[in-house]
């Protein structure tokens, strides 16, 4: 099975930097996704990591350490529209059940 | 950009009634997922299809839930009878093959309220 942990809530100020952590335990690992979900809307894709290291995409970056079962999402130059839930999701190996498992999400509130 | 279509957007029903949700994935996507998301939690997989075949329904409450994708294109998720605890957002998603680094494309979801 898979177990994914991320903080329930975080608060940050507009213009600041915030790091959202995700730790996972899995019987087989085939990549980690980050999704953004605004209230009442569908999740939208932010990033994907399968190898160790940092992936940068504009204001958002995502880091992975497979040996530690750890990832983080880094958001720079925060904007009010970044207030949303951020979901960490782990993909298991092909042929496994529940190939993509989501964490419970981290609700980020950006304050002016 | 192509989108995953879901309907209805909202559904209110009384317990013990039957409800059905419809999903049309992005054209050409072989893999279709139904997720249930309770407020404040992450999406939980109910069923995953590869073309018309079910590849994972281990978390689907089969005594009341059923899902089909008869022609390997659109899909229907049914609940009969609905219970109060079924109130949630039901999300459909699709991806080309369901493997590797493919991201999932989500529909807007159906918000179900059982009274």
pLDDT at A94 over 60: yes
Mean pLDDT score across all residues of chain A: 92
What's the pLDDT score for residue B2?
Answer: 80
What's the pLDDT score for residue B100?
Answer: 67
What's the pLDDT score for residue A30?
Answer: 86
What's the pLDDT score for residue A100?
Answer: 82
Each residue's pLDDT tens digit in chain B (115 positions)?
789 999 999 999 999 999 999 999 999 999 999 999 998 899 999 999 999 999 889 889 999 999 999 888 999 999 999 999 999 999 999 998 877 678 899 999 999 999 9
**A97: which chain B residues are within 8 Å (Cβ-Cβ)?**
56, 58
> Hey, what long-range contacts does A27-31 have (CB within 8 A, 24 or more apart)?
A27/A1, A27/A2, A27/A92, A27/A96, A28/A92, A28/A93, A28/A96, A29/A66, A29/A90, A29/A91, A29/A92, A29/A93, A30/A91, A30/A92, A30/A93, A30/A94, A30/A99, A30/B99, A30/B100, A31/A90, A31/A91, A31/B100, A31/B101
**A100: which chain B residues are within 8 Å (Cβ-Cβ)?**
33, 45, 104
Partner-chain contact A43 B101, CB within 8 Å? no
Mean pLDDT of A62-80: 97
Cβ under 8 Å to B: A residues 51-110:
87, 89, 94, 97-105, 107
């Amino acid at each position: 099975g898979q177990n994914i942990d991320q903080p329930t809530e975080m608060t940050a100020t507009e213009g600041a930097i915030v790091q959202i952590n995700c730790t996972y335990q899995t019987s087989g690992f085939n990549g980690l996704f980050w999704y953004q979900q605004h209230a009442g809307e569908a999740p939208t894709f932010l990033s994907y990591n399968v190898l160790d290291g940092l992936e940068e995409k504009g204001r958002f970056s995502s880091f992975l350490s497979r040996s530690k079962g750890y990832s983080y999402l880094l958001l720079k130059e925060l904007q009010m529209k970044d207030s949303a839930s951020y979901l960490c999701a782990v993909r298991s190996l092909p042929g496994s059940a529940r190939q993509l498992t989501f964490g419970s999400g981290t609700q980020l509130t950006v304050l002016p | 950009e192509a989108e995953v279509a879901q309907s209805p957007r909202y559904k209110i029903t009384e317990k013990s009634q039957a409800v059905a949700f419809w999903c049309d994935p992005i054209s050409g996507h072989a893999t279709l997922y139904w997720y249930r998301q309770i407020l404040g939690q992450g999406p939980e997989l109910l069923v995953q299809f590869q073309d018309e075949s079910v590849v994972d329904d281990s978390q689907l409450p089969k005594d009341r839930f059923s899902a089909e994708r008869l022609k390997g294109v659109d899909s229907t998720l049914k609940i009969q009878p609905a219970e109060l605890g079924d109130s949630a957002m039901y999300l459909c998603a699709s991806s080309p093959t369901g493997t590797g680094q493919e991201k999932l494309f989500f529909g807007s979801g159906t918000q179900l309220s059982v009274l």
